[in-house]
Structure 1
């Protein structure tokens, strides 16, 4: 039970009162809730886990598969994946609210599997085919799995929503470890194509299990009598929602830069080291722990109370630990600490939206929120890459690191503003109830 009911429980909403108690779906049985969390974790493993593994693809493409393509061009494949996942969030969230999760998971699983199989037949050097299959097709397909997986977990959990979403996000980190390890072991024996086909089998297994055990609560209220659905941007009329979106927009602008560039930084500044190849696994392992503990702590002290400090600390780690690092030991500590804190920048906004949004609009408004974030997720990495003056000297990365840390700190300031607005709104509602 939360120790701060003011900041942890969703306030009553005029919108939510339009649904009578008899029209609200019944609370699901606990077993169904836990199975849904497990199924959603598998979805994140097979979808977001592939995106979290892009550091492996970036390195392999640069060295073996696409050696004539610029590193920034290859990086944009991963950036496009992330951008499309966010951009399609409003649509997939609204569809999940209205029709449930089954058809969306079928579409996502089929599209992700097909994109992996198509990628397995691409010949080396064909950048545009990689861009279309892994960047575009896989990005669109993943979007219809990630957002619905978050939505159905949010429907099942209220008091422990932060912890539940933190557990689901572990799937991304586990996939970010599992896929690179598997690909690294299989490629020397079966080749790149064979390894991707094996990855496609893993995706099919994960989605098949999730389809059998995930349950959703599609809304069938008096406000939704027909078979239409709508993308809901009405949340931006709420100042706390809008300011939170601005803060997350700035945070995402700098969030992914360490994940994309810290290995390149280590390889160029400390040539011949045998540690940087493990950075991706270190980051995913630390983020797995951070997201779970962050979700648990957020449910205890308030998700608003936790989001802005971890975002601020993530920025400070960039500005003081990464920027000033002179040896691999400091860099390893930065990689682990940054991943631990920054993992919550991804997971906590979703559970916070659930606090300030009526249940029947949770998916649509979460999707609308992240569709706006698309812009920063698309431009952050290219801007950071353009700020590298000379990739062979430590000082050449200075502006990239400053940009990443500053964006996170600016985001944390807006997040603090959203938390302040939420506190004032909660106090006003309590005073109205007392009077």
Structure 2
């Protein structure tokens, strides 16, 4: 999907800006449209190798982060049984936060040509942290290694991998970005599936080392292919004035409020799904793959959401996805059997995938192309705060009682926040400026 801005207020000089689905594509929008030199072939085999490498980078960064729900359950039950769910959630919250918060500073270094250095250094940090996790036995050790340091390493790899793909393509750009967007979901499936199976068989320490080895292999391959497009102009503008100006516009500020509220709640069922199943004392075989199921079905939501947005609009489709997530949160504690919880996880993954896919595209429906990339960067820095505090807040709302009632307050809170988010997104649609020459194209 793309936005064509004419001579309306706030439109840029660029006639066309491509908008891809997926949280990962948000940072890619920071790369300006450029005139491709004749000696660089677009949509080539070399370009697809870049996609292959970046997809691997997504797998070991965002994919590992979305797999934290497996460790959330294990820590609460075994390794950190003396800690509350809220305290443990700070580890995953730090991962989510730094993954997005570092987008601006790392993105600036990437634009200055330090792509390979960032990817290699981040890869080293990720693998070292994975090995280091295997030697951790206390809460504060895990908070520093798995939360803080791993989050920094992931940010160093995640941001460049997102930003370098777009300029390599012309006709097949949307397809390339769609493949990139599935990388994190595939990683979430692989790592959560591996952790769920290995933890009871070989223990925590060796599970972390196996994940480190898997990460090392994937990141070595990824590092060989993640590279900047050679035709990008030097001395690209890094001014944040335009992005800050956009925050003053009612439509964009309301949109940020909406996605802030959504980001504060939409990941809770992912992180607490397996812990909830364990709390209900459901069969281990039926609940240990709930995070895997959510990550797997989110691929459907990501791809399908982008297709629906081409017909109905990005913010409109995103609003529906958030509304469905909110409705399902209210019924979270109604799932008391293995079958109902598995079905819930599958459906929730699809709805959540729609939201995740259209987050940057929704902003692009409001912001002119000249300020789009850095405006999204500012937006994600704001959202990182919600991602940091949301999981611990949900942990505080979980009561120390038996049965599904222990999670009732968390479910009601999550559903209410998501409904407020849907309302804010709807208002942003109404506040969005209508210019005669601006239209959405499929």
**After TM superposition, is the score higher than 0.5?**
yes
Q: 2:54 aligns with which of 34, 40, 44?
A: 40
Q: Deviations over 1:48-86 (max 9, x none)?
A: 111111122122223333333333222211111111222
The residue number in structure 1 matching 2:18 is none
Q: How does 1:330-369 map to 2 (within 5 A)?
A: 330-354=340-364, 362-369=372-379
Q: 1:220 aligns with which of 225, 233, 244?
A: 233
Q: Distance in 2 between matches of 1:60 and 1:25?
A: 51
Q: Deviations over 1:375-410 (max 9, x none)?
A: 211222222222223441323322211111111121
Kept after mapping to 2: 8 A contact 1:318/1:404? yes
Q: Distance in 2 between matches of 1:270 and 1:63?
A: 12
Q: How many residues align?
A: 415
Q: Distance in 1 between matches of 2:176 and 2:314?
A: 13
Q: 2:255 aligns with which of 244, 254, 261?
A: 244
TM, length-normalised to structure 1? 0.83
Distance change (3 Å), C-alpha of 1:418 and 1:427 = farther
Q: Please state which structure has a larger fraction of its residues in helix.
A: 1
- The reply on whether 1:106 has 2:120 as its aligned counterpart is yes
Give structure 2 stretches of 5+ with no counterpart. Answer: 16-32
Q: Distance in 2 between matches of 1:325 and 1:58?
A: 20
Kept after mapping to 1: 8 A contact 2:334/2:404? no
Kept after mapping to 2: 8 A contact 1:91/1:367? no
CA root-mean-square deviation: 3.2
- The reply on whether 1:378 has 2:358 as its aligned counterpart is no
The residue number in structure 2 matching 1:9 is 3
Distance change (3 Å), C-alpha of 1:61 and 1:327 = closer
TM, length-normalised to structure 2? 0.82
The residue number in structure 2 matching 1:260 is 271
Distance change (3 Å), C-alpha of 1:230 and 1:140 = farther
Q: Distance in 1 between matches of 2:313 and 2:360?
A: 13
The residue number in structure 1 matching 2:101 is 87
Question: Displacement of 1:412 after TM fit?
Answer: 1.6
Q: Distance in 1 between matches of 2:211 and 2:406?
A: 37
Q: How does 1:386-405 map to 2 (within 5 A)?
A: 386-405=396-415
What SS is found at the alignment partner of 1:99?
coil
- The reply on whether 1:322 has 2:316 as its aligned counterpart is no
Distance change (3 Å), C-alpha of 1:148 and 1:420 = farther
Q: Distance in 1 between matches of 2:96 and 2:174?
A: 22
Kept after mapping to 2: 8 A contact 1:268/1:391? no
Q: Distance in 2 between matches of 1:402 and 1:315?
A: 9
Kept after mapping to 1: 8 A contact 2:96/2:151? yes
The residue number in structure 2 matching 1:68 is 82
Distance change (3 Å), C-alpha of 1:248 and 1:163 = farther
Kept after mapping to 1: 8 A contact 2:42/2:170? no
Give structure 1 stretches of 5+ with no counterpart. Answer: 3-7, 431-435
Q: Distance in 2 between matches of 1:210 and 1:363?
A: 24
Distance change (3 Å), C-alpha of 1:396 and 1:121 = closer
Q: Distance in 2 between matches of 1:341 and 1:160?
A: 26
The residue number in structure 2 matching 1:150 is 162
Distance change (3 Å), C-alpha of 1:10 and 1:36 = farther
The residue number in structure 2 matching 1:176 is 188
Q: 2:421 aligns with which of 399, 402, 411?
A: 411
Q: Deviations over 1:282-303 (max 9, x none)?
A: 1111112221222233345432
